């Protein structure tokens, strides 16, 4: 509690921050595009820092990505990477 001479009182709320991991590159990029903060990487996992009040939105964005045009684009990129050497004549 912050007291400014009896005229006002401001309650400071401490937001809990949690770490969430995402291993999919496309999903991680989508979350970055929507304002979530990457704080690290461990192996193939990207580590995001999420405030407790952002947790639901973070999880919704992960699901939203699966039905987005971004996911479709990412799938096509992955398909193209799998095409072997071929030169039609």
- Does residue 35 have a pLDDT over 80? yes
Residue 76's SS3 state is helix
- Give the CA count within 13 Å in the CB-facing half-sphere of 24: 13
36-61: pLDDT as tens digits: 999 999 999 999 999 999 999 999 99
Q: Which residues touch 25 (CB under 8 Å, ≥6 apart)?
A: 46, 74
Residue ranges covered by each domain of the chain:
16-78
**pLDDT of 89:** 83
Q: Which residues touch 52 (CB under 8 Å, ≥6 apart)?
A: 15, 16, 17, 18
Beta pairing class for 17-22 and 9-10: unpaired
What's the whole-model pTM score? 0.74
- Does residue 1 have a pLDDT over 60? no
Q: Mean of the per-residue pLDDT values for the chain? A: 87
**pLDDT of 2:** 44
């Amino acid at each position: 509690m912050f007291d400014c001479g009896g005229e006002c009182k401001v309650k400071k709320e401490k937001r809990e921050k949690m770490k969430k991991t995402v291993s999919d590159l496309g999903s991680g990029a989508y979350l970055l595009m929507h304002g979530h903060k990457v704080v690290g990487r461990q192996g193939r996992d990207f580590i995001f820092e999420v405030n407790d009040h952002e947790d639901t939105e973070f999880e919704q964005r992960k699901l939203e990505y699966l039905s987005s045009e971004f996911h479709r684009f990412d799938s096509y990129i992955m398909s193209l990477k799998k095409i072997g050497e071929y030169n039609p004549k």
